[in-house]
Amino acid sequence: PHVARLIAAGEVVSRPLDVVRELVDNALDAGATRIELDIEDGGLRVVRVRDNGVGIPAASVALAAVRHATSKLPPDVAAVERVTTLGFRGEALWAAAQAGRLHLVTRPASQVGAAELHAHGEDIRLGRTSAPAGTTVTVLALFEALPARRRTQLPTATEVREITALLGRYVLHHPDIHWRVAVDGEPRLTHAPADHRGAVASVYGPLSANRVLTVDGPGVRGVVSRPELTRARRDRMHFSVNGRPVLAPPELEKAVIEGYAELLPAGVAPLCVLDLTVAPEDHNPNVHPAKQMVALADLGAVAARVREAVAAALAAHPL
Ligand code: ADP
Ligand code: MG
């Protein structure tokens, strides 16, 4: 049972990047307008996410690290089809407490005093402390008890690069909140609330931000670069579906490029940040364990909307 539990947890959380994604998703689900991430030793020593979201009432804190306990689903089975939060499985904090050591401090704004939770394996300890409104979750000593998992981790520099890139994508898709990322105590990425253009400035620098065009079509919002600022790489095409950064299906990348029509030289890809909104029932975030891929019920229709929104943005800004 102990080993089985560790294996199951290791499937939810297989590397520090997974912990980062889960904790940031929780902060977004909590309605935070300020999210701060600290990692040390590529996240193996420390992953800490501090938010100013709704917090967890003291009476519920004991449940936070219990497997399958979630506050995000009403108790009918069909609800999972209509879920609008980023999390809903109730496994992330549980897995973090198995794969490492979990420390959580949380306070809803209306509550006097904060609650504190230490969880490691099946050992859960509760306490009281003081803290600003919101939640700070720290995961320490990840994979300490899973030496095989620890040995197969990517080099620290690679993990740090990918975590920073992931946070860049969160900034691009959630530009209206404060973000701060520190690696081994050094600030790596900071962003103050702005629009999509401001987020492009925070992530790619003012030069890239200078001449992006606003896209504002039905269910498709964001920015695309002017045709002359495009490059022969696709690694700057970013999509989110209902707030979650996703690995875009190639159909969506193609739709953006088609939106430029003959304005774009062949083989060249634009920078784009596009936030797609679809009805919850048209979208299944479950197809990929890390939830980075989405299944869209009507990909063709979404792609057409993307193509038209991009074409309209370019038409509205004659060169
Ligand atoms: P899930 O997100 O799938 O519900 P998690 O294990 O990630 O499961 O979190 C368990 C529960 O703990 C959440 O349902 C939520 O009630 C609470 N929680 C976790 N993180 C936060 C946070 N940053 N702010 C407020 N509540 C949180
Ligand atoms: Mg979660």
Q: What pLDDT is recorded for position 262?
A: 84
Rounded to the nearest angstrom, the distance between the alpha carbon of 224 and the centre of ligand 2 is 31
Nearest residue CA, atom 17 of ligand 1? 64
Q: What helix, strand, coil percent values describe the chain, rounded to 5?
A: 40, 25, 35
Same domain, 180 and 263: no
What does the pLDDT read at residue 90? 79
Residue type at 314 in one-letter notation: L
**Residue with token string 């919002």:** 221
- Ligand 1, residues 25, 26, 36: which to mutate, most atoms within 8 A of Cβ? 26
Q: What's the confidence (pLDDT) of residue 163?
A: 97
Q: What is the CATH number of the domain that holds 212?
A: 3.30.230.10
Query: Which of 79, 81, 117 is CA-nearest to residue 101?
Result: 117
Residues 236 and 121 in one domain: no
| φ/ψ of residue 285, rounded to 5 | -80, 5
CA distance 2 to 253: 44
**Residues 261 and 212 reside in one and the same domain:** yes
Closest-CA residue, ligand 1 atom 25, reads 55
**Pocket around ligand 1 at a 6 A CB cut-off:** 22, 26-27, 30, 51, 53-56, 64, 70-72, 87-94, 135
d(CA 120, CA 97): 5
On whether residue 198 sits in a domain, the answer given is no
Clarify whether residues 121 and 263 are in a common domain.
no
Residue 218, SS3 per DSSP: coil
Over its length of 319 residues, how does the chain's per-residue pLDDT go in tens digits? Answer: 578 888 788 778 899 999 999 999 999 999 999 999 999 999 999 999 999 999 999 999 998 888 877 887 766 666 666 667 777 777 899 999 999 999 999 999 999 999 999 999 989 999 999 999 999 999 999 999 888 888 999 999 999 999 999 999 999 999 999 999 999 999 999 999 999 999 999 999 998 898 899 999 999 999 999 887 666 677 889 999 888 888 878 899 999 999 998 888 887 889 999 999 988 777 766 655 555 666 787 889 999 999 999 999 999 876 6
CA of 228 to the centre of ligand 2 (A): 41
CA angle (16 as vertex; 146, 41 as ends), nearest 5: 90
Residue 166 belongs to domain spanning: 2-191
- Measured by CA distance, the residue closest to atom 19 of ligand 1 is 26
| 285/283 Cα distance (integer angstroms) | 6
Does residue 223 belong to any structural domain of this protein? yes
Instruction: Identify the pLDDT of residue 1.
Output: 59
**Count of domains in the chain?**
2
ipTM above 0.90, yes or no: yes
Cβ density class 290-300: b for 16+ within 10 Å, e for less: ebebbebeeee
| 196 within a domain of the structure (yes/no) | no
CB 203 within 8 A of CB 175: no
pLDDT at 216: 95
Give yes or no: residues 56 and 101 share one domain.
Answer: yes
Q: Which residues contact 94 (CB under 8 A, 6 or more apart)?
A: 9, 12, 65, 66, 67, 68, 69
The pLDDT of residue 218 is: 94
Co-location of 185 and 259 in the same domain: no
Which of 132, 163, 191 terminates a domain? The answer is 191
Judgement on whether residues 49 and 112 belong to the same structural domain of the protein: yes
Specify whether 54 is located in the same domain as 180: yes
243 and 125 in a single domain? The answer is no
What six digits make up the tokens of 233? 């790489």
Residue 135's SS3 state is strand
Residue-wise over 17-49: b if at least 16 C-beta within 10 A, else e? bbbbbbbbbbbbbbebebbbbbbbbbbbbbbbb
What are all long-range contacts of 258-267, with beta carbons under 8 Å and residues at least 24 apart? 258/307, 259/224, 259/306, 259/307, 259/308, 259/309, 259/310, 259/311, 259/313, 259/314, 260/227, 260/310, 260/311, 260/314, 261/311, 263/227, 263/314, 264/227, 264/230, 265/230, 267/232
Question: Same domain for 31 and 174?
Answer: yes
Same domain, 185 and 217: no
Q: Which ligand ends up closest to the CA of 9?
A: 1
Distance CA 38, CA 223 (A): 29
In a domain, 144, yes or no: yes
Give the CA-trace dihedral at 132, 135, 141, 143, to 10 degrees: 180
The pLDDT score that the predictor gives to residue 75 is 65
309 found inside a domain: yes
Task: Clarify whether residues 123 and 228 are in a common domain.
Answer: no
